[in-house]
C-alpha cells in the first residue's frame, strides 16, 4: 500500500537555526498538510496546500514557517528561525480528494528537538 | 467553530474487556467524523469513519455510530487485545479544508 514518507525521523537543531522537514506524499494525492504534535498533547493543524499554494493555515503558522513543493514529489516545511517551543513531532499528510469525507494519510513524523 | 472533545486518558483495561472511548463534537452543518489510531513511534492511521448521521463505521472489531442528536461518535470494541494499546484520536472534517483532532486518549491493555 502506498504511504507518505518523511525524513529525517529525528532532527536536532539549535535555537535560531533554520530547519527543513521533508515529505513525499502519496503520488496521486493532490492535497497536502502539515500537522504538529507537542509531546503528549493534541494534534494541531498547521497548513494545507493545494495546486501549489496554501489553501488554509492556522495561527501557529506565522512568518517563520513556509511550505514548498519544489519538484512535484517532495513537500517541505521550513522553519526559518527555530524556537524552543517549536520542539514537537511534525506530521505530513496527504489526501486524494479535497472532499472533507476523504481521510488523511499520515507519515510517521519527524521529531524536531530545538536546544 | 468546529471542535472535538474526547475523554481524558489514560484508559487501562484487561484483555477481553469492553471498551468505550467517548467523543462529542461541535460543528455547523454536516461534518464527517473519523477515529484515528497512533501506535508507538508511528503516525496516525485511519481506523474508521462515518460521513452522515446514523452511519456506523467499523474496522478491526471497533465500531462508532454517528449520532447527530447527541453530537457524539463514541468508539467501542467488545473485546480488546494487548495489541490495541495505542492512542486514539477522534476527528472531524467539515466544509473547510482541514481535519481537526481531539486531544487523544491513551489506551493501555493489560494481558
pLDDT tens figures, B2-40:
899 998 889 999 999 999 999 999 998 889 999 999 998
Interface residue A101 vs chain B (CB under 8 A): yes
Contact B97 A31 (CB under 8 A): yes
Name the pLDDT band for A65 (thresholds 50, 70, 90). very high
Maximal CA-CA distance, chain A: 40
Mutate to test the interface with A, among B30, B96, B98, B103 (most CBs of A within 10 A): B98
- pLDDT of A70: 86
- pLDDT of B49: 94
Tell whether omega for the bond before B10 is within 30 degrees of 0, i.e. cis. Answer: yes
Give the residue from chain B lying closest to A4, CA to CA: B43
Interface residue A33 vs chain B (CB under 8 A): yes
A85: left (phi over 0), alpha (psi -120 to 50) or beta: alpha
Please say if the pLDDT value at position B111 is more than 90: yes
A83 alpha carbon, distance to own chain's centre:
17
Q: Are strands B3-6 and B99-101 parallel, antiparallel or unpaired?
A: unpaired
Q: Are strands A105-106 and B19-21 parallel, antiparallel or unpaired?
A: unpaired
**C-alpha cell read off for A26:** 502519496
Contact B98 A101 (CB under 8 A): no
Q: Are strands A5-7 and A19-24 parallel, antiparallel or unpaired?
A: antiparallel
Please say if the pLDDT value at position A5 is more than 90: yes
Amino acid at each position: 500500500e502506498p504511504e507518505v514518507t518523511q525524513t529525517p525521523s529525528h532532527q536536532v537543531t539549535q535555537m535560531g537555526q533554520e530547519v527543513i522537514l521533508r515529505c513525499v506524499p502519496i503520488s496521486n494525492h493532490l492535497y497536502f498538510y502539515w500537522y504538529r504534535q507537542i509531546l503528549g498533547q493534541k494534534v494541531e493543524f498547521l497548513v494545507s496546500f493545494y495546486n501549489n499554494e496554501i489553501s488554509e493555515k492556522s495561527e501557529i503558522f506565522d512568518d517563520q514557517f513556509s511550505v514548498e513543493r519544489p519538484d512535484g514529489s517532495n513537500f517541505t516545511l521550513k522553519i526559518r528561525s527555530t524556537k524552543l517551543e517549536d520542539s514537537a513531532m511534525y506530521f505530513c499528510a496527504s489526501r486524494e480528494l479535497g472532499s472533507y469525507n476523504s481521510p488523511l494519510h499520515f507519515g510517521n513524523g519527524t521529531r524536531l528537538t530545538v536546544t | 467553530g468546529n471542535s472535538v472533545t474526547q475523554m481524558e486518558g489514560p484508559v487501562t483495561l484487561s484483555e477481553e474487556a469492553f471498551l468505550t472511548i467517548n467523543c462529542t463534537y461541535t460543528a455547523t452543518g454536516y461534518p464527517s467524523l473519523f477515529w484515528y489510531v497512533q501506535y508507538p513511534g508511528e503516525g496516525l492511521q485511519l481506523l474508521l469513519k462515518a460521513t452522515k448521521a446514523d452511519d456506523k463505521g467499523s474496522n478491526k472489531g471497533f465500531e462508532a455510530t454517528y449520532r447527530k442528536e447527541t453530537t457524539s461518535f463514541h468508539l467501542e470494541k467488545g473485546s480488546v487485545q494487548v495489541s490495541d494499546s495505542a492512542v486514539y484520536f477522534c476527528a472531524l472534517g467539515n466544509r473547510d479544508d482541514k481535519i481537526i483532532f481531539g486531544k487523544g486518549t491513551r489506551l493501555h491493555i493489560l494481558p
